Amino acid sequence: MWIADNWSDYEVIDTSKGEKLERWGDYLLVRPDPQVIWDTPRQHYGWKKRNGHYHRSKKGGGEWEFFDLPEQWSIRYRDLTFHMKPLSFKHTGLFPEQATNWDWFSEKIRSAGRPVKVLNLFAYTGGATLAAAAAGAAVTHVDASKGMVGWAKENAAASGLSSAPIRWLVDDCVKFVEREIRRGNHYDGIIMDPPSYGRGPKGEIWKIEESIHPFIQLTARLLSDEPLFFLVNSYTTGLAPAVLTYMISTELKKFGGHVESQEIGLPVTESGLVLPCGASGRWEKINN
């Protein structure tokens, strides 16, 4: 498992009864987590002294209950700053487990010794975009949500990256990739974090089980002659790490290199164990 264990402003404090207790900077949140199927004693004071609690409804969805939580606050990871705010479906605008991937591809970019172009698809609020830009890459950031792209720009400004070479695009990722192929554009690194289900700005439907392999196949055509990395993230339980490895290996075999897929996770302070948070598949060019 790849573990995001270099945070100081974030931690999973405890997990029990379908929920996790987290510290986001100075604030404690309790949120549901489908992986937490165990029932252990809730001894940490934060379970009762939380600043926000997302209650899942048995009918689907849910709602927040707030206890002295600001509308927005910030946390840092290394030199990056992210604005946090509770969203209607339990999220806060950041997936902290992805930091293990940020560190991985940032090192690839820094050690490349040449200009690096990175494409970030389904780019959300820009965690991977900012990490790649801070490492020295020119980044194209694509997401179908105008609001999320705006939020990502705010995070870039907070991180001192307003003038970094980042292209911000509100677009359907599949259609954007198709256009980039026709334009003859190429990238040295590609990141994708597709949702299990989603709709594009014009109602385009995305179902990951049906769409992910054709999309990897399509996107691989955008890799440069000397690519550095290709990263696919999945929060869909049906896509095991071995499935990611198979799809990536099949479509990138002409480049050689190495593919590895693992669960990604976050350390839990109280138990000393690791909470699984999806899976990632990584392809990288091996330097001779």
* Mean pLDDT value across the chain: 93
pLDDT at 201: 61
pLDDT at 270: 96
Reported as a pLDDT band with limits 50, 70 and 90, residue 72 is very high
**Measured on CA atoms in the order 148, 92, 219, 175, is the torsion positive or negative?**
negative
Q: How far is CA 188 from CA 25, 46, 107, 225, 226, in A?
A: 34, 44, 14, 8, 7
pLDDT at 7: 98
Residue 288 has pLDDT above 60, yes or no: no
pLDDT at 204: 67
Average the pLDDT over 28-33 and give the result: 97
pLDDT at 6: 98
- The arrangement of strands across the sheet holding 138-143 comes to 2-3, 258-267, 274-284, 229-234, 189-192, 117-121, 138-143, 166-170
Digit-coded pLDDT (tens) for 83-125: 999 998 899 999 999 999 999 999 999 999 999 999 999 999 9
Reported as a pLDDT band with limits 50, 70 and 90, residue 240 is confident
Among 232, 201, 209, smallest CA distance to 219 is for 232
Residue 41 has pLDDT above 70, yes or no: yes
Reported as a pLDDT band with limits 50, 70 and 90, residue 219 is very high
pTM for the structure as a whole: 0.93
What percentage of the chain reaches a pLDDT higher than 70?
95
Report how far residue 221's alpha carbon sits from residue 287's, in angstroms, rounded to the nearest whole number: 21
Q: Where are the alpha helices (DSSP H) in 159-228?
A: 173-183, 208-219
